[in-house]
Amino acid sequence: MPNKTQRFREKVLGFPNYFKYWIRSFKGSLTILCIIGLLSFPLLTTNSYFLGLFILAMIYSIYAASWDLLAGFTGKVSFGHAIFLGIAGYVTAELLKFYNFHWLSALFFGVLAAVFIGLGLGYMTLRLKGPYLALGTLVIGIICQSVFALNPLKPILHGDEGISGLPALSSSTVVIYYIVLIFMIITFIVLIRITKLNIGTLFKSIRDDETGSEAAGINITKYKIIAFMISGLFAGLAGGLFAMFNRSISPLIFQPLYSFYAIIMAALGGLATISGSALGAFLFVFLTAIFVDFAEISLLIFSIILIIIIRFTSGGVLKPAIERLKDIWDILLGR
């Protein structure tokens, strides 16, 4: 049996080979293709509207993926995920506008705040399960919205209007695009890695059977809170980027609608897949953008499309889409 250091050395030395193998596999080449596609998109167009759509979709991808880690992998279905988005957004905006922080450090503190909120939220909702957890998180989100909109607290929390007129991340949309893209790639690498590591197995065991997991000697309290914190970290990252991209933030960010966005996008792409969240987010953003011209009935059309998608793909669109692609891929390679 190899010992710890030997195994570690094998892993490090074996990585180039593993990478070569991975990149030739279907999944690997698809991933690389997507990344190259996203990297080269600004070469096709520098139209700030299209770039803006992509930036929004990428921010939402991070947000939905963070929800997927919590709900899809740990089984804690949160209906108040916008809390992370909002808190991180507010902290980032506050530091950026009133304290003249560099955007990176402002973002860092925003994310840090979201991690602490994750700790608190995880601790508060520890004993809640299923619909009660959903209700609990939903209500906490609504409380946040009301508190941030309170008039008496206006000197601290800026009331209804929130904070607006943030300094722009960069004068060029292309630069913002690449900044967000880098954060998105990092997020997905980290999150997918987490689900494959031991801690991912423990998260999944908590999702499948809490009692069984505890009977296996796992401190489930600890891992549930860790899941909330990791999820909060990435949702906070999305929140900070969202605030900086929109250059404003208001209490409306806490409304349940934004929490539902995460659920819609992750479920659309496929639960417990992480990468499905990206697909779901892009679909979501493009669909809303396409139907925005039909003003009053845009929501109606969008909802109907959602129902049709859910009717035919109970597990999200990612898996069937990948299977179709793989068929085409196999035909192209003449297999």
Partner 1 sequence: MGTILEVKNLTKKFGGLTAVNDISFEIRRGEFLGLIGPNGAGKTTLFNLIFGSEKPSSGRIRFDGKDITGLKPYQIVNLGIARTFQIVRSFKYLTILDNVAVSCLSPRGKKVASQYGTEEYASTILAMTGLVDKARIPPIVLPHGDLRKLQIAKSLGANPQLLLLDEPFSGLTHDESQAIQELIRKLRDDGVTIFMTGHVLRELMHMVPRVIAMVQGKYVCEGSPKEVANNKIVLEAYLGRGEGFA
Contacts with partner 1 in 254-313 (CB under 8 A)?
A: 272
Selected binder of partner 1 within 5, 17, 198, 314 (CB under 8 A): 198
CB of 4 to partner 1, least distance (A): 6
- What gap in Å lies between CA 213 and CA 204, rounded to an integer? 9
**Residue 270, C-beta contacts closer than 8 angstroms, at least 6 positions apart:** 276, 279, 280, 315, 316, 317, 318, 319
Backbone dihedral region of 274: left (phi > 0), alpha (psi from -120 to 50 degrees) or beta? Answer: left
**Near partner 1 by CB under 8 A: residue from 112, 214, 248, 288:** 214
Tell me which H or E stretch contains 208.
helix 198-208
* In the block, residue with structure tokens 């590591």: 197
127 binding partner 1? (CB under 8 A): no
> Of 151 and 314, which has the nearer Cβ to partner 1?
314
Query: Does 151 help bind partner 1 (rule: CB under 8 A)?
Result: no
Instruction: Please name the residues in contact with 93: beta carbons below 8 A apart, sequence gap of 6 or more.
Output: 106, 162, 163, 166, 243, 244, 248, 249
- Contact residue for partner 1 among 104, 215, 331, 333 (CB under 8 A): 215
CB of 196 to partner 1, least distance (A): 11
**Judged by CB under 8 A, does residue 319 bind partner 1?**
no
Q: Which one of residues 216, 292, 300, 304 is an interface residue with partner 1 (CB under 8 A)?
A: 216
Among 205, 231, 273, 275, contact with partner 1 (rule: CB under 8 A): 205
- Binding partner 1 (rule: CB under 8 A), the pick from 4, 127, 311, 335 is 4
Alpha-carbon distance 325 to 334, whole Å? Answer: 14
Place of tokens 């279905």: 77
| Residue 205: CB atoms within 10 Å | 19
Site residues (CB under 8 A) for partner 1?
A: 1-4, 7, 198, 201-202, 204-205, 207-209, 211-220, 272
